[in-house]
Amino acid sequence: MFLKKLKLTNFRNYADFEQEFNTLKTIIIGPNAQGKTNILEAINILATSVSDRAERDSNLVSWNNEYALIFADIQTKDDNLNIALQINSSGRRKLKINGVAKRAPQADLLGNFFCVMFSCEDLYLIKGSPSVRRSWLDSILFQLDIKYHKALQDYQKSVTQKNALLKNSYESGMSRKALKEQLDIWNEQIINFGSEILIKRLGFIEEIKVVAREFQKNISKGNEELDLIYQSTVTGITSNIDQMKISFKKSLEESFEKEIARGQSVIGPHRDDLTFLINEKEAKSFASQGQQRSIVLALKLSELKVIEHRKGEIPVLLLDDVFAELDESRQDFLLHNLPPNIQTFITTTHISDIQKELLENAKVIKIESGKVLNLVG
């Protein structure tokens, strides 16, 4: 995939940004807080529909404006793709693909354009909270599988309703029997959507695990064996959907009292986690800073491979300020393990952090206060 042109209107600190890209590498350089990450964020939203940094859509719209526009011209393997996404501060979106208005702007955006974003925040993948790892899984699965996004949306709605019921049951003094009957309605939906999510997450982990293990072995010169284990609050997860539903139901039944006592839903993919092991030891507790960086690097390179394998398109790579965090050998490793024709956007405050090889034939864009200053190279 190749992003040929990006236009931003009232997006974050960009009133009006327009750039054409015709080199494989684009370096976005500028001091802190000028808008470098904002550009990558806009590109990433076109692939994942979400932004880790924005709690809500209104954060993406320039202050005192009603809506933001992200417009992109993309070259895919065998076609031209044109995406126009309007993000309203009210939270509503509008989407046109190749000039045709779409009815479901969130879901219809997915599966058209693919990205892998690698930023300093990704270092929290190992030691951060479970929600960081879940968001990581979700953002990749949104791109890989449109049905995953729908299942997750429906699942989250059911969990919200169930939580409201559990909370209200306290205040209203509802009988156990009545509560159980009402909970069963939501649990049935939670089992159906949740099992679909679990199956897709497990399938993805199995796939990325094989690739990531190979990368980790090579980064560590054969010393480190990486493993990924999906830790579910559902006991007895399996790759068979019918069996999964049975396990899910059983886990919910067993946690009935616990959920009532806590006043919230505690079983299901919204409470699951992922464990990384290095040589059979949990990375969260034992991995050094360097090892954590290597794992994240291995995961990001694997993300690229899995997306390429499943979608038949090389995703666009967004490297947000990661070079200050990667030493020379890891930078080398990254560089020499990328697909040859991958389009890469790199942000940095200091060009000296970036290896010379990466700067070759790169277009350099200087950013200051949401404006392109000048173009070099």
Ligand X SMILES: Nc1ncnc2c1ncn2[C@@H]1O[C@H](COP(=O)(O)OP(=O)(O)OP(=O)(O)O)[C@@H](O)[C@H]1O
Using CB under 6 A as the criterion, which residues of the chain lie in contact with ligand X when the complex forms? 12-13, 30, 32-38, 59, 61-63, 321, 349
Site membership for Mg ion, residue 38 (CB under 5 A): no
Told to check if 51 binds Mg ion by CB under 5 A, we report no
CB of 41 to Mg ion, least distance (A): 9
Indicate the residue among 7 and 36 with the shorter CB distance to Mg ion.
Answer: 36
CB of 352 to ligand X, least distance (A): 15
Q: Yes or no: say if 135 and 152 are a contact pair by the CB < 8 Å rule.
A: no
Task: Find which of ligand X, Mg ion, none residue 30 binds, CB within 5 to 8 Å per kind.
Answer: ligand X
> Minimal distance in Å, beta carbon 320 to Mg ion?
6
Burial of 101 (0-12, 13-18, 19+ CB in 10 A): exposed
Of the candidate spans 17-25, 36-44, 88-96, 168-176, the one that interacts with Mg ion by CB under 5 A turns out to be: 36-44
Q: Which one of the spans 31-39, 148-156, 179-187, 267-275 is the region binding Mg ion (CB under 5 A)?
A: 31-39
Check binding of 37 to Mg ion (CB under 5 A): yes
> With 0-12 CB in 10 A as exposed, 13-18 as middle and 19+ as buried, what is 5?
middle
* In the complex, least distance from residue 269 CB atom to Mg ion, rounded to whole angstroms: 30
44 binds Mg ion (CB under 5 A): no
Backbone phi and psi for residue 283, each to the nearest 5 degrees, phi listed first: -65, -35
Q: Is 344 in the site for Mg ion (CB under 5 A)?
A: no
Q: Token pair of 146, please?
A: 């449109």
Under 8 Å between Cβ of 320 and 296: no
DSSP-assigned letters across all residues of 211-273: HHHHHHHHHTTT---EEEEEE-SSTT--S-HHHHHHHHHHHHHHTHHHHHHHTS--SSGGG-E
Minimum distance between the CB of residue 14 and ligand X, rounded to whole angstroms? 8
Residue in this structure with the two tokens 């964020």, named with its chain if needed = 41
Picking from 365, 347, 187, 219, the residue whose alpha carbon sits closest to that of residue 291 is: 219
Q: Which residues bind Mg ion (CB under 5 A)?
A: 36-37
